Structure 1
Amino acid sequence: MELRHLRYFLTVAEERQFTRAAARLHIQQPPLSQQIQELERELGFALFTRLPRGVELTSAGAAFVVDARAVLDALDQGVVNARRVANGQLGSVRIALTSSAAFHPLATAAIRQFRATHPDIAIDLNEINAADIIERMMHGRVDAGILRKPIETPAELRFDLLHEERMVLVLPVGHALLRRSKGTKTKATQATQGTRAAKQPRVPLKALAGESFIFVRRPGAPGMYADFIRACEAAGFKPDVVSEVPRMLSAINLVAAGAGITLVPASMQRYQQEAVVYCAVAGDEAFSAPLHLVTRRDAANPAALRFAQAVLAFVSPGEKGVETLDAH
């Protein structure tokens, strides 16, 4: 049985006449009659009762109409769905973000907009470290990633800069460096003027010698602190890393507990705690935390390609500049 047999049968069933059905199908009437007879022989029962001026469906033929139409409708819908998959309008995309990237409002806003504009694309979203994102993308287990500054940039992957912002120092409230830093305001002044209006403290780089640092585990985020460590070494000291944690929020919490100090991207100042103060590192503007979209150059998933295009279109050129240090 061929699909054309089903189409011929349904047309005759609708027209109740071979002549009109043949005209609709753009074929001659005798070949159409032969095709219907072949179908009836294959099925083993009559589909039509022949009348002097047309045909009527038999009981078996009426039952077969329902299933034949369902088969063709399913095929048509399958073609539509396949075409939408090929165009990146239907399907799924696996996205991975680092914790600090997930905290940036640009990343979440871009994903939210993509969900709104592509409701038929399922999103599998995971938060993992940068090294794991690269590894999973290389093995085809992740379609797109949003991360900061990886050291490893395999040729098979494409890295598009979405945004660049400053790194800021995180100190516990009452730290000795805050008493010596310029621009520090009293808590009462901050309460009066509001956090945004309060001028951000600035701490000289050399003043950080001897401090205890908490970093995100460098195997997971190898590129995040590289510029800072090099700057410290150029200033004559090596940062004393007393703890490495899996997430930046964990580092901020440890700072709040008095376990040391850390650096985070400026956008993480949205994570407000009364126990910590976010500061600029004075005298060096090299500490940045770029935000990158990572995709495979040979990506075969149309939904992933559509996601990448949507994210890049979402980010206007003006948004790729460096954030101000006292932005929240």
Structure 2
Amino acid sequence: MAIDLARLRYFVAVAEEGHITRAAERLDMQQPPLSRQIRLMERELKVQLFRRLPRGVELTSAGHALLPEAKSMLARFDRAMEITRRAARGEQGSLCVGIAPTAPFIPLVPKSIRAFREAFPMVSLVLEEGLSNEVVSKFDNDQMDVAFVRAPQVLAQGVVVTPLQEEPMIVALPGNHPIAKRGKAQSISLASLANDPFILIGPQGTGLHDETIAACRAAGFMPKLGQPAPRITSTLSLVAAGLGIAVIPSTMQSVRIAGIAYRRLRAPGPKAFLGLAFRRSDPSPVLKQFLNVVRSIAKSTPPIQ
């Protein structure tokens, strides 16, 4: 037999107050309807829950047995309702966030993740590093909700990319490169590096790989391709070993590796793109909250010089 949750609340209020009139005031209702609901509950259970006293009521043994169970049921129901409301508001749930390998060096990215964690501590964030092609695969397999990407387009079904920031690209040179010995103050032209082997990050279709090729073409040459590198760390290791040069985002200057010199490229130089990829049709309230946080921080973040 199902018991109305409202009647359980009435029962608990009367049991705790020991008086039907005071319980009615607590429940913001009249005393006669409350008395009627208690009698109906006793009739349905076929037990007496209260003994009527001259000034109030007291629990019977059956009432004493029911009270802790009633409180537990109501607490579980209230908790379930609150979880449901938080999920609907995007305050609870989970989110898988992809991050391009060079993205954490941009202050906007860790700042956004930190702000979201602080604002929505009950959301479980799973962070996964991935190049553009890896992110595409995870979106296609429903294993990714949103991603910080370096490519302005992600060729996954239904996925769009919102631009967040651009930053200048610089060149990483081996420490013994002739240009590295000229000093840091003067910027260099990309065309002056046409005879050097270029170490490209990731395969074709990856943001920084394609951006480097496009920048070299704009400078009037096709780059000589050196050994490819799957990640920025391996790229810089190859540069330090003297196996070539690499065009990288300017924020990567914070990575100090012996045997590498960073130099600015002459304006107008290439720009590294950062965007947020997600499915426009995704109804997830958690995703909407994440997008709102990132966009808000992006608007208040000054451009990278």
TM-score bucket (shorter structure): 0.7 to 0.9
Find the aligned partners of 1:249 and 1:33 in 2 and give their Cα distance. Answer: 74
Find the aligned partners of 1:28 and 1:79 in 2 and give their Cα distance. Answer: 28
Q: CA deviation at 1:96?
A: 1.0
The one-character-per-residue Cα deviations of 1:255-292 (angstroms, maximum 9, x if unpaired) are 1111211111000010012310112233x524110111
Q: In the alignment, which residue of structure 1 is the partner of 2:289?
A: 306
The alpha-carbon distance between structure 1 residues 281 and 28, as it changes in their structure 2 partners (threshold 3 A), is closer
Q: In the alignment, which residue of structure 1 is the partner of 2:200?
A: 215
**8 Å contact from structure 1 (residues 256, 275) kept in 2:** yes
Q: Which runs of 5+ in 2 are unaligned?
A: none
The alpha-carbon distance between structure 1 residues 19 and 117, as it changes in their structure 2 partners (threshold 3 A), is closer
Q: CA deviation at 1:222?
A: 2.4
For 1:224, what is the secondary structure of its paired residue?
A: helix
Q: In the alignment, which residue of structure 1 is the partner of 2:29?
A: 26
Find the aligned partners of 1:265 and 1:307 in 2 and give their Cα distance. Answer: 25
Q: Write out aligned runs for 1:10-159 (5 A).
A: 10-18=12-20, 20-21=22-23, 24=27, 26-27=29-30, 29=32, 32-153=34-155, 156-159=158-161
The alpha-carbon distance between structure 1 residues 296 and 152, as it changes in their structure 2 partners (threshold 3 A), is closer
The one-character-per-residue Cα deviations of 1:59-101 (angstroms, maximum 9, x if unpaired) are 2312311121221122223222322221222222221101011
**8 Å contact from structure 1 (residues 227, 286) kept in 2:** no
For 1:202, what is the secondary structure of its paired residue?
A: coil
Q: In the alignment, which residue of structure 1 is the partner of 2:242?
A: 258
Q: In the alignment, which residue of structure 1 is the partner of 2:273?
A: 290
Find the aligned partners of 2:202 and 2:116 in 1 and give their Cα distance. Answer: 31
The one-character-per-residue Cα deviations of 1:134-170 (angstroms, maximum 9, x if unpaired) are 3323443222211112443557333222211111111
**8 Å contact from structure 1 (residues 131, 150) kept in 2:** no
Find the aligned partners of 2:161 and 2:14 in 1 and give their Cα distance. Answer: 58
Aligned length: 302
The one-character-per-residue Cα deviations of 1:113-145 (angstroms, maximum 9, x if unpaired) are 222232222211111111222332344322221
Find the aligned partners of 1:309 and 1:94 in 2 and give their Cα distance. Answer: 16
* Counterpart residue identity of residue 244, structure 2: G
* Counterpart residue identity of residue 203, structure 2: R
Q: Write out aligned runs for 1:188-199 (5 A).
A: 198-199=184-185
Find the aligned partners of 1:13 and 1:116 in 2 and give their Cα distance. Answer: 41
Find the aligned partners of 1:148 and 1:229 in 2 and give their Cα distance. Answer: 14
For 2:188, what is the secondary structure of its paired residue?
A: strand
Q: CA deviation at 1:13?
A: 1.6
Q: Which runs of 5+ in 1 are unaligned?
A: 186-197
For 2:127, what is the secondary structure of its paired residue?
A: strand
What RMSD over aligned residues (CA atoms) do the two structures have, in Å? 2.6
The alpha-carbon distance between structure 1 residues 244 and 151, as it changes in their structure 2 partners (threshold 3 A), is farther
**8 Å contact from structure 2 (residues 200, 212) kept in 1:** no
Q: In the alignment, which residue of structure 2 is the partner of 1:190?
A: none
Q: CA deviation at 1:16?
A: 3.0
Find the aligned partners of 1:148 and 1:114 in 2 and give their Cα distance. Answer: 21
Kindly indicate whether residue 226 of structure 2 is the aligned counterpart of residue 242 of structure 1: yes
**8 Å contact from structure 2 (residues 132, 154) kept in 1:** no
**8 Å contact from structure 1 (residues 150, 222) kept in 2:** no
Q: In the alignment, which residue of structure 1 is the partner of 2:187?
A: 202
* Counterpart residue identity of residue 29, structure 2: H
For 2:228, what is the secondary structure of its paired residue?
A: strand
For 2:221, what is the secondary structure of its paired residue?
A: coil
**8 Å contact from structure 1 (residues 102, 127) kept in 2:** no
**8 Å contact from structure 1 (residues 133, 142) kept in 2:** yes
Q: In the alignment, which residue of structure 2 is the partner of 1:166?
A: 168
* TM-score, reference length from structure 2: 0.87
Find the aligned partners of 1:50 and 1:206 in 2 and give their Cα distance. Answer: 97
Q: CA deviation at 1:42?
A: 4.1
